[in-house]
Structure 1
Amino acid sequence: MPSKTVLPTAQESLPGRTEALQVAAKHVVNGNSTLEPFPAGHELAMFGMGCFWGVERLFWKQKGIFSTQVGYAGGYTPNPTYQEVCTGMKQGIDVGTQYRSVIFTYGDQQREAALSSKENFQKELSRNNLGTITTEICPAPKFYYAEDYHQQYLHKNPDGYCGLKGTGVTCTL
């Protein structure tokens, strides 16, 4: 097994499964579809930001968001379960490389927007004597839905835990 702070290689990864994990077809918060194809005119966006429960809640509350789903991307195991992606990295009290910070982009326009926002936000963090951004920006890999109980988890479990917190620094683009 690899170090607890690096992603497993393809050879070290678990085999996963050929069939996708089953999730509800409708978003429990807004009733929109959770499965592709999505309506024309919408773009996909994929972010890795620590606890996916809290991140998903942040996004489903944003104006203009059609639907949110949580899942896994960026590894080698097809259709993984939560247990299969767990390793030892840490973000807050959450542990595992699955909690690393990443923006997966769909095309050059999203990549440029991500790089620009990272640069602008780093200036604000530096101005506030805060650390260096470690968020990766890379092309979007295949997305695998997490288990259905993870989808819209904090709506289904209002007392559920999420340690997601910000820096208190904002950045206009």
Structure 2
Amino acid sequence: MARATFGAGCFWGVEELFRRIEGVTATAVGYMGGKKENPTYQEVCTDKTGHAEVVDIEFEPSIVSYEELLNIFWENHNPTTLNRQGPDMGSQYRSVVFYHTPEQMEAAEKAKRELDASGSWKDPIVTVIEEAPTFYRGEEYHQRYLQKRSQSSCQI
């Protein structure tokens, strides 16, 4: 098994997107990249902890590659808006790839360069690529939020 972690706006829709991918064996929503240990959703929403809402993904690389997961990440959010996805604003909604291995870092940086050079977006890509710090699992009511409500998507 391998692990990938992405922030692409509100984590409810991002989790639902990745949860349905063949080869993804587990997902969890939570917080990463901030300065407070064990932040709560309410604290993260103040925009003062520095955490991003993320989806932590466990996957089987023989079924789905990290590069395929990266492609899904890039294709399903706007990587050119700083600290914003749709109507959601704040640093917790930033576009971010948290890498777990040097190979993931290289793949993410290469994909970002190629996407930026392709001209697919009129504005430059602002996605941040950082080494994965501690993942803080979100509150249980956030896990599989859309599935629990029989919804297939939100803002993503």
Fold match by TM threshold 0.5 = yes
Superposition deviation, residue 90 in structure 1: 3.3
Residue aligning to 2:116? 122
Task: Name the amino acid aligned to 1:131.
Answer: D
Q: Structure 1 CA distance, aligned partners of 2:103 and 2:123?
A: 27
Question: Residues 47, 113 of structure 1: CA spacing in aligned structure 2 closer, same or farther, 3 A cutoff?
Answer: same
Superposition deviation, residue 159 in structure 1: 4.0
SS of structure 2 residue aligned to 1:66? strand
State the TM-score, normalized to the length of structure 2: 0.72
Identity %: 48
State the TM-score, normalized to the length of structure 1: 0.65
Unaligned runs of 5+ in 1: 1-41, 165-173
Root-mean-square deviation (CA, aligned residues, Å) is 1.7
Q: Structure 2 CA distance, aligned partners of 1:86 and 1:104?
A: 20
Residue aligning to 1:101? 95
Unaligned runs of 5+ in 2: 48-82
Q: Name the structure, 1 or 2, with higher relative contact order (CA <8 Å, separation 6+).
A: 2
Task: Name the amino acid aligned to 2:17.
Answer: L
Question: Residues 123, 153 of structure 1: CA spacing in aligned structure 2 closer, same or farther, 3 A cutoff?
Answer: same
* Aligned positions, number: 121
**CA deviation map 1:23-66 (0-9, x unaligned):** xxxxxxxxxxxxxxxxxxx1111111101001001101111101
Higher alpha-carbon Rg: 1
Answer yes or no: is the 8 Å Cα contact 1:46–1:103 preserved in 2.
yes
Question: Residues 78, 44 of structure 1: CA spacing in aligned structure 2 closer, same or farther, 3 A cutoff?
Answer: same
